[in-house]
Structure 1
Amino acid sequence: MNSLSLSELCCLFCCPPCPSRIAAKLAFLPPEPTYSLVPDETGSKFSLHLTERAEWQYSQRELDCIEVFYTRTTKGNRIACMFAKCSPNAKYTLLFSHGNAVDLGQMSSFYIGLGSRINCNIFSYDYSGYGGSSGKPSEKNLYADVDAAWNALRTRFGINPQNVVLYGQSIGTVPTIDLASRYEVGAAVLHSPLTSGMRVAFPDTKRTWFFDAFPSIEKVPKITSPVLVIHGTEDEVIDFSHGLQIHERCPRAVEPLWVEGAGHNDVELYGHQVLNIQFLQSPLGKHYV
C-alpha cells in the first residue's frame, strides 16, 4: 500500500472503518431536487414537473415523451424512475446511472438529446436520497437502487436484456459494474470509472482492503458483456489510471475511448464521437450482439 499505516487509515475514516463511512466521505452530494412527480386523480400515474433549476431545453412535445414513476427497492426506499422514449424504432435502451451532484431533472434534457442523437431510448433513476427518491445515499442503497431500476425496466417495459446497454458515469459506474457483473446485457459503458474508494482517496493503494468502498476493480472480471471504457486523460477527480485499470480487467473490453486533455466533467466537449457512442451501431451492433 502507501506510506500510511493501517492505524492511521482507521483514524482517518472514523475508527473502526466501514464502507458506508468511506462512501459518505468520498461520493454522495445530492443536490436540491429540481423536479417533482405529480400524481393524477387516481394516484396511479405521474407527470414530470421541472423547476427552473432543471434548465429544460426542449418543448412540451419532448416532455410528453418522458414517462415517470416510482418503484420500491429491497431496502424499502421509493426511487424515482424516468423513461425517455426518444425513438419509436429504437433497438437499444440505455439504463443510465448518472454522476454525482445531479438528479433526473437536471439530466432530462441531456437524455432527450442523447437518445435522439444515437436513436435509442433512455431509462434512468435517482439514487436513494437524490431528487424524488426517498432514503439516504449509501453504498448498499446504491446496489439496491440499480436492482430496482433493472427490475422495473424488465417487468414494466419487457425489454430483452440483450437490447439493454448499461451506462454509468463517475459514481454511476459503481452500480453499473455491480449489475453488469451479475447479468449479461447488450453492453456496458463505463464513463470515468473508479476502481475503488480507497484508491481514489489514496492513489498509491495497491490492494482492496476489507473496509474499502465501491470495490469495482474486483467485480469487472465477472462482466461477460462487451465493455467500453471512456476516460479523460486529465481527469482531476478520478485519475486516468482508474480507467486504464478497469479496461485491463474487463474480459470483453472493446477499444477504449481515451479523450486527450479532457477532465472529469467535460469529456463531451472534446469530440462528437463520445455522444455518438458509435459502438452501439458499430462494432457492437455488427460484431458483439
Structure 2
Amino acid sequence: MSNSHCTLDAPGAEEETMNGMSFSKLCCLFCCPPCPSTITAKVAFRPPVPTYNFVPVNEKEEKYTINFTEGAEWQFGDAEKECLDAFYTRTSRGSKIACMYVKCCPNAKYTVLFSHANAVDLGMISSFYVMLGMRINCNIFSFDYSGYGSSSGKPLEKNLYPDVNAAWLALQKRYSISPENVILYGQSIGTVPTIDLAARNHFAGVILHSPLMSGMRVLFETRRTWCFDVFTSIEKVHKIQSPVLVIHGTEDEVINFSHGVAIYEKCSQPVEPLWVEGANHNDIEVFPQYLERLRHFINSDLSN
C-alpha cells in the first residue's frame, strides 16, 4: 500500500495522507462512515451452494456419513470416506454447526484445527484435507461457519468467534485432544476466528495463511483501527503466545501482501514466515515451498 506526501494546495498533486488515507477519503469517512455490516458485506461471507449433507447413521450417538454432491469434487473412494467422522455441535449463539474430523494418520502427534477460507464449504475442501493431512502427517479437524454448508444460522462476524470456540470444545470433548497437540490453521477469512481463539488459549502452534489486518484495511489505505471496523485481527495477534507461522503470496490481489507482513511484525512468537513469490490469493498450495514449510514448522519449529 503506497502513501503520498504531497501538499494539498499544489495543482494536480496527490492529496496528503493521514494515517495512510487521503484527506478526502478521511473526510468522507467522518461525514458518512460505513456501518460494520457494509464493510463485512464487501470483505467477506460468500457461502456457496452446499456441496454435501450429513446422513444419520446413529442418531443416539450423533454419528453421520457425508453425502457429497458433484460440486464437492470428491477425489477419493469409499475407503478414504470411511476416515471422515462427521457430526454437529451447538454454539453459544444457538447455531448448529457441521464438523468433520479427517483421520489421516492413526499415530499423528498433532491435529490441525482448520478454519477455512471464504466461498467454500466442507464438501469442497474435504479432498484437500485428506491430501494435506497425509503429506504433513497430521489429522485435520474442520467445521463450517454459521450459514455455510449444512450449518444453521447466519454468516456474521459475531457468529465466527462462537463457531470456532464450539468447534474447539467439540474437538476436546469428543476426541480427548489436549491443546499442546493442536495446531490452529486459518486461511483468509478463517484467520479471523483463528487469531481470536489463539489469543485466548495456548496451542502447539498457529498457522495464518493469507491473513487480513482488518476489514477497513482491506478496503482502504489506512493504518489505524476505526470504531466501525470489523475483523480487527491486527489488534489481537500480539496476544498469541504460541509459535506463529505466517504465509502470504506476494501478488495477492484479494488481501494485499502488506497485511501478511504487518500481522507477522505484530506477532509475539513468530517463526520464519513464508512469502511465496508470485503467488496470488488462491494458489499458494500449488507451490512446492508450501508443503516444505509446513513440514518444517511441524517437525522443527514446534520442537524448538
Match of residue 132 from structure 1? 150
Establish whether residue 5 from structure 1 lines up as the match of residue 26 from structure 2: yes
Structure 1, gaps ≥5 residues long: none
Establish whether residue 222 from structure 1 lines up as the match of residue 243 from structure 2: no
Deviation at 1:24, TM superposition (A): 2.4
Deviation at 1:193, TM superposition (A): 0.2
Q: For 1:26, which of 43, 47, 70 is the aligned residue?
A: 43
Q: For 1:231, which of 240, 248, 257 is the aligned residue?
A: 248
Deviation at 1:268, TM superposition (A): 1.5
Match of residue 245 from structure 1? 262
**Can you list the C-alpha shifts for 1:235-282, whole angstroms capped at 9, x where unaligned?**
000000000000000010000000000000001122244366123433
Match of residue 76 from structure 1? 94
Q: For 2:284, which of 245, 267, 270 is the aligned residue?
A: 267
Is the 8 Å Cα contact of residues 204 and 302 (structure 2) preserved in structure 1? no
Match of residue 196 from structure 1? 214
Match of residue 80 from structure 2? 62
Q: For 2:164, which of 133, 143, 146 is the aligned residue?
A: 146
Is the 8 Å Cα contact of residues 118 and 276 (structure 1) preserved in structure 2? no
The aligned amino acid for 2:115 is S
The 3-state SS of whatever aligns with 2:200 is: coil
Is the 8 Å Cα contact of residues 129 and 137 (structure 1) preserved in structure 2? yes
Match of residue 6 from structure 2? none
Deviation at 1:52, TM superposition (A): 1.0
The 3-state SS of whatever aligns with 1:135 is: coil
Cα RMSD (Å) = 1.5
Match of residue 171 from structure 1? 189
**Can you list the C-alpha shifts for 1:134-188, whole angstroms capped at 9, x where unaligned?**
0110101011100000100111111010110000000000000000000000000
Deviation at 1:27, TM superposition (A): 0.4
Deviation at 1:25, TM superposition (A): 2.5
Match of residue 36 from structure 1? 53
Q: For 2:301, which of 277, 280, 284 is the aligned residue?
A: 284
Per mean C-alpha deviation after superposition, the further-off stretch among 43-52 and 30-39 is 43-52
**Can you list the C-alpha shifts for 1:181-226, whole angstroms capped at 9, x where unaligned?**
0000000000000000000000x20110111000000001100000
**Can you list the C-alpha shifts for 1:102-142, whole angstroms capped at 9, x where unaligned?**
00000100000000111110000000000000011010101
Is the 8 Å Cα contact of residues 196 and 215 (structure 1) preserved in structure 2? yes
Distance (whole Å) between structure 1 residues aligned to residue 59 and residue 26 of structure 2 = 59
Is the 8 Å Cα contact of residues 205 and 302 (structure 2) preserved in structure 1? no
The aligned amino acid for 2:175 is F
**Can you list the C-alpha shifts for 1:53-96, whole angstroms capped at 9, x where unaligned?**
10000110000000000000011000000000000000000000
Is the 8 Å Cα contact of residues 274 and 293 (structure 2) preserved in structure 1? no
Establish whether residue 114 from structure 1 lines up as the match of residue 135 from structure 2: no
The aligned amino acid for 1:215 is T
Is the 8 Å Cα contact of residues 196 and 212 (structure 1) preserved in structure 2? yes
The 3-state SS of whatever aligns with 2:97 is: strand
- Over alpha carbons, which structure has the higher Rg? 2
Deviation at 1:12, TM superposition (A): 6.1
Does the C-alpha gap of structure 1 residues 42 and 74 become closer, same or farther in structure 2, counting only changes over 3 Å?
closer
Deviation at 1:11, TM superposition (A): 3.4
Distance (whole Å) between structure 1 residues aligned to residue 241 and residue 290 of structure 2 = 25
Structure 2, gaps ≥5 residues long: 1-18
Distance (whole Å) between structure 2 residues aligned to residue 71 and residue 285 of structure 1 = 30
Using structure 2 for the length normalisation, give the TM-score: 0.89
Distance (whole Å) between structure 2 residues aligned to residue 236 and residue 249 of structure 1 = 22
Does the C-alpha gap of structure 1 residues 41 and 189 become closer, same or farther in structure 2, counting only changes over 3 Å?
closer
Q: Which runs of 4+ in 1 moved over 3 A?
A: 6-12, 272-276, 279-282
| Total equivalences in the alignment | 282
